[in-house]
Chains A and B, each alone.
Chain A
C-alpha cells in the first residue's frame, strides 16, 4: 500500500507571497492532519480534516488554512508569508476509526521563506 505523499518536497518563496502544499493520504484513510516542525519546537499541530470538514484546529493565525477533497486529498495554504513560516510541513493520515488511532506521516514539504 502506498504511503502518504506530499508535494512539492521543497519550496522557496519570498515574504508576502502565498503557497499551497498538497497531501495525498494512504488509501482508505479519511483523516488528514497537518503539522509544522521547526527546530526546538517539535511538531506543532495546525489542523485536522475528516470527510472534507475541519475537525480540529491548532493555535496558528488565520493565514494558515486548509481544505480536504472528496477523495481525502488535502491542501494547506499559507498566505502573506513571513520569514518565521520557514519550516518543514508534515501531513499525516489515519483511518480515524475505532478508539485508538495511529497517524502515518508523509516525508514533508520543506518551505523556505526569503
Chain B
C-alpha cells in the first residue's frame, strides 16, 4: 500500500513558467513533509520541508503548500529554470510517534524546456 503517492511520473514545463508537482498521502499520522530533488548518479538533495502546523513554506523560488484536510501537498517552482530538471520526491514522516521513518513517493521527473 503506497502511503505517499506522486501520480504524475513526469512533467514538462517551459523555462520561466511555474512548475507544480503534486503529492498525496493517506496516513493522517504524517506531520512532517519534505521535498527532495535528485539528479542522475547522485543522492537526493533536500529542497524544502513543511510541518503540519503550517500550510505554506517558502524558500526562494520554491514554495510548498500543505492541505491537511485533502491530505495533499504541492511544490511550486517559480520561475522554472533548465537546471531544475530532475526527479522530485516528496516524503512524509510521522514525527509525533517519535520515530524517524520517512516514507517516499515514487517521484516525478521534471523537465524544464529552454
- A residues touching B (Cβ–Cβ < 8 Å)? 4, 6, 31, 33, 35, 40-45, 48, 50, 55-56, 58, 90, 92, 94, 96, 99-108
Contact = CB atoms under 8 A, between A and B. Distances in A.
Q: How large is the interface on B (under 10, 10 to 19, 20 to 34, 35 or more residues)?
A: 20 to 34
If over half of A's interface residues share one DSSP class (helix, strand or loop), that class is named, otherwise mixed; here it is: strand
Nearest to A105: B43
B32 A100 contact: yes
Contact of A41 (B36, B46, B91, B106): B106
Q: With a 10 A CB-CB cut-off, give which of A33, A41, A43, A48 has the most chain B CB atoms.
A: A43
A43 B101 contact: no
A42 B100 contact: no
A42 B104 contact: yes
Contacts of B101: 33, 45, 48, 56, 58
